[in-house]
Chain A
Amino acid sequence: MRRINSLYGRNGILKRVFEKPAKQSHAFLASRSFSTEGGYGGESQQNSSSSRVKIFDRELKRRDRAAWLSRNKNDTFVDAVAENLLDRLEDCKKSFPSALCLGGSLGPVKRLLRGRGGIEKLIMMDTSHDMIKSCRDAQDDNSIDTSYLVGDEEFLPIKESSVDLIISSLGLHWTNDLPGSMIQCKLALKPDGLFLAAILGGETLKELRIACTLAHMEREGGISPRLSPLAQVRDAGNLLTRAGFSLPGVDVDEYILNRETALATAAIYDSMFATEDGTIPATFQVIYMTGWKEHSSHPQAKRRGSATVSFTDIHKQFGGQS
């Protein structure tokens, strides 16, 4: 990595680059979505004491998502995440007769499900009516009884204890109240129901985040966030526990996409992260979360003091040599 000082010699390039909007990254550059209710910058300092700061403009995301997803019918990255998430259903002995699929990437989930998890009734939910309609009109040849619904994850319109499985592929990271949404998911699950989610993690687009921050500092003397704030890996486990899921599981995958047309994003991006062949990497960190609604069949810790054999004896029996 080159030294940051070298950036100051690149004024000309920086100027040119900033005049061009970066087309590739508009889906993740959420500068406009920070503008809700007092903004995320200066004024939010006063609001930060209340938990009602709206970071994401859900109305904006609603339109965005429909337009964005319908254009890229088969996105390899989204497909890879959906496939990875659905693969987990094969690890479960249990079958899930009724499943709720939350927004984000509905199409790929529906397309790649291929009878996994023994799902008989599938409910597809998204905040965008257009998205749901295009999903319904896709007419995949599967025999699953599918219902469609427009709803917001922050206000889940599902009755308590009514579904066996909730899948959310790349949708929940854009909720303002992630813990609240997850608690609502947990309530909607039947006992021993499974919650399966993939969200983008804090390492996502780190190159762009760093490049934007440095460019801001250089040009404007201060920084304002240009990318959606995302959950960190260590938060994911806490979120699952806080929402009351038992047997929580979290794992992380990183996808690095090489975008050749995004070269115009910033000269800093280029100078700090560019590879030798002229392309620039873009990291996507995906956090996978699994959790179960509590049930008597889950493994439990034994009562304290209920052991009949002491650790010293076990040590003598099996590992005496050390």
Chain B
Amino acid sequence: MVRISRVMLKEAGNAIDKTLSEILVCPLSKQPLRVCEKTKSLVSDTIGVSFPIKDGIPCLVPKDGKILEEDGDASKAC
């Protein structure tokens, strides 16, 4: 039982679950976030900051966010 749920967690590790994706917003601007599958991060386009998803847990503390450098780079990276 425990093993099964562990495996499920692992699979779900990449994308965040539905409950969270419905309610999460950018902690600073309170605007919607975009999931970037490639870099496994949540991107707030309004302020140009990306927040990491570590082990399937989104980290939305402002200090964890990375400022996306150039507009061109940002669109390439995500």
Query: Residue B9 at the A interface, CB < 8 A?
Result: yes
Residues of A with C-beta under 8 A to B19: 98, 121, 123, 145, 147
For residue B55, give the distance in angstroms from its CB to the closest CB of chain A: 7
Task: Choose from B2, B20, B55, B61 the contact partner of A147 (Cβ within 8 Å).
Answer: B20
Total A-B contacts with CB atoms under 8 angstroms apart: 69
Residues of A with C-beta under 8 A to B20: 123, 147, 149
Docked-complex contact A162 and B59, CB < 8 angstroms: no
Task: Choose from B23, B28, B54 the contact partner of A123 (Cβ within 8 Å).
Answer: B23
Docked-complex contact B61 and A136, CB < 8 angstroms: no
CA distance A127 to B63 in the complex (A): 11
With A136-B9, A139-B2, A145-B19 in contact, is A159–B24 under 8 Å at CB?
Answer: yes
Docked-complex contact A151 and B55, CB < 8 angstroms: no
The 3 closest A-B pairs by CB, nearest first: A155-B27, A157-B60, A157-B27
Interface 0/1 of B1-35, CB less than 8 Å to A: 01001000100000011011011111110100000
Residues of B with C-beta under 8 A to A159: 22-25, 30
Within 8 A of B (CB), among A155-169: 155-160, 162-163
Docked-complex contact B62 and A150, CB < 8 angstroms: no
Task: Choose from A121, A148, A162 the contact partner of B57 (Cβ within 8 Å).
Answer: A148
Majority secondary structure of chain B interface residues (helix, strand, loop or mixed): mixed
B residues within 8 Å of A by Cβ? 2, 5, 9, 16-17, 19-20, 22-28, 30, 54-64
A184 (CB) vs chain B CBs: closest residue: B30
Docked-complex contact A147 and B17, CB < 8 angstroms: yes
Residues of B with C-beta under 8 A to A157: 24-27, 60
Docked-complex contact A129 and B57, CB < 8 angstroms: yes
With A150-B61, A155-B28, A155-B61 in contact, is A129–B23 under 8 Å at CB?
Answer: no
B21 (CB) vs chain A CBs: closest residue: A147
CA distance A160 to B55 in the complex (A): 26
Query: Residue A59 at the B interface, CB < 8 A?
Result: yes
CA distance A98 to B19 in the complex (A): 9
For residue B40, give the distance in angstroms from its CB to the closest CB of chain A: 14
Query: Residue A116 at the B interface, CB < 8 A?
Result: no
Residues of B with C-beta under 8 A to A163: 23
